[in-house]
Chains A and B, each alone.
Chain A
Amino acid sequence: MIVFDKVCFSYGVRQIIKDLSFSINSDERVAILGGSGEGKTTILKLIMGLIKPDSGKIIIDGEDITGKTEDELREVRMKFSLVFQEGALFDSLNVKENVAFCLREYTKMTEDEIDRKVRELLRTVGVEHAMEFMPEELSGGMHRRVSIARSLAACEPMMFLYDEPTSGLDPVNADNICKLILELSKDGKGFIIVTHKVVDALRVASRFIFLKDGELVFDGDSEKLLHSDIPDIQVFISELNYAGVKNV
């Protein structure tokens, strides 16, 4: 359970998040929508405790994380699996070592076991052939998928956080990622997907949160989203009219 209670956050003098309050259960499939630079990534960073709010509380499973130290936060972070917007693979390590990173860090697996596990994870995301590649040799979509595989190796998360997993990908790859996201949450695990592609959000999520100028302007299901009369949302979903899929 993630609860934001009147959270404010600013970079320098620029306020990015204003008095934001919401709560998300760990089995919910939530999409956070909003334009570029509205603070979507910032919200994910706040959940992970990577940045601290100026005021307000962020409560995760009943614990306020805003006052926790880096050491104490480790436990909280283990509950989530975050995939960054850019993928953020370690560029000095090849794909295999990237995926194996947490296995080496936290388990005492032998080389064989690691190899098998990494193969398995890469197969799940469909890039097994790229095992020996360096990150700079990967395409955007592969990068994203390896990054998902790496975070799967990290822990058994309670919830997945994806930062724009499909942006900049061709429709086929985007579709694959959506399938992967649904696949991973099959056993009732929730996720938060941050995106500005409504099509993808509608495919995977069941609850939608819309941000505008750092404030929550919409929170509801797909039905409500499609019939919302908020102008910004209408602009967002007009994309669907062109595609002719308004009646999904």
Chain B
Amino acid sequence: MLSQDNTHSDYLDSILSRHQHNTHNLLQMLREAQEHYGYIHSEAIDYLAQQLQSPRSMIEGVASFYSLLYLQPQGDYRVLFSDNITDRMLGNIDLMESMCGQLWVEVGKVSEDGLVSINTTSCTGMCDQGPAVLINNIAINHLTQDRINSLCELIRERVPLSGWPLEFFAIEDNIYKKDILLDSNFKSGSALAEVLKRSSEETLQEIKTSKLRGRGGAGYLTGSKWEFCRIAVSEQHYVVCNADEGEPGTFKDRVLLNTYADMVFEGMTICAHVINAKKGFIYLRGEYRYLLDHLNAILQRRRQQGLLGNNIFGHANFNFDIEIHLGAGAYICGEESALIESLEGKRGTPRNRPPFPVTSGYLNQPTVVNNVETFCAASLIGLHGGAWYADVGIETSSGTKILSVSGDCARPGLYEYPFGVTVAQVLADCGAKNTQAVQISGPSGICIAANEFERRIAFDDLPTAGAFMVFDESRDMFEVARNFVHFFKHESCGFCTPCRVGTSLLSNMMNKLANGHGSPYDFTEIEKLNVLLLSTSHCGLGHSACNPVLDTIAKFRPAYDKRLTHKEYIPAFDLDYALSQARQMTGRDDTGAHLERIHVSK
């Protein structure tokens, strides 16, 4: 399907000029360039290198970092099955195998006719309506065997996505419990109108009074963050909204951007007023590409309303605008300094800190990075004041928290609670039965067992970025942990030794246990690995990579014990398993062709 003229300038020139030939927009340009052939053509890289006067190895280095960018031809239909544990529990693997069978293609490969490629990808943020796929980066949810059959038919008939039944692309909000945020009936401009009656100092004070803490996971005091940035002396200050939402099981930012975008943008604008920023970015995960046009339309409307642009609300010298940058499949870009690198068009590698973004962020200028939900809360505080907000929730944790509930329950979706709600309450509300475990805050969070369900969602008990994955008694908690470990291995950025190698070692150990080759020795090894990753990793991903395994070993030991067929250590290399390929090739399967016994590995 490649044009023979070899002129990539046809489509790249307009992309380059739209992005001002600025390498800071490299990731955006690569993503758009890819839309042309479904992958980034090698000659397109040459052309970009020449036009941007940048080394092609640098461009290749960036493109190869992001899992939704391809340097090799892909199928005309690129199908990616979301592979969170919740998708697994809903049968995604069988559905994927069925699709592979129907379309004559192997997982991870392109079909011989170039029609389709099928693979798995990290959680796409649709856990409340899985199993989910992305086809050419567009989300399709609620997969059933019937729906898979229809998709195969459409692909085989080469029907363009624009001609597919609209209901396939439906994405629900699934809000089941609203509190001050989700029930606010927010009117665009209402918070800014209040804020602009006060000085920026007073607004900062309101944020501090509210005791708002970041909703993205780390729980840093928003008022302090804004203040550090505000007092950092510099020409430019930046506001960045972290909409990378890559933590498996988290999907509340998706809903906030879909239905509450005005609150997000207004919160960013309030922040801009406080820190004196002229420019803001939303870093939107590539998996949420479908939200781009919708969000741009709202930004445009806000410009027309005088809520963005120059002289906002008629205030001379209050100039601020927001640009959306898309990610391209990298969980690590949710880490704020990696996010900033990515915003600058680079590989998403976390920076050495200090300095922190508040003094040296985007283009080394003072930058506030906050989560989507944090900015929504800032809008509420702008509207109602800090004291009003601080009144909600509990002493250590003011306000509300939106939980993304998924897994074994009757009503997966969003639940907003004042901080302090017990896990048991949430389980009752979402209709969970016979619950064995809840994974709070995703793989990097904590796994709790039934005897802990009276614990509370709060910064001093169970802090969370929002994920709340429910597992009933039928689930194998070992496989839950194995899925999470695989996630970390896939998403490690590879910068530092402990996490780059350690996540692979851990994943190998879990596979070894799964294949029945584990021994108690391996538990000691895992614990040692955990200590090493905790103390030497460069960022939070490495620090938390062992959590799922340690938690489940501590709390669901039988799931591991039943896999321990050996009391003594045995090496992971298994000669008999290695021989299985030879057996397959020679068609032999007699006892003489086996070393010990049949293996149950996958």
- Tell me, yes or no, whether A binds B: no
A→B interface (CB under 8 Å):
none
B→A interface (CB under 8 Å):
none
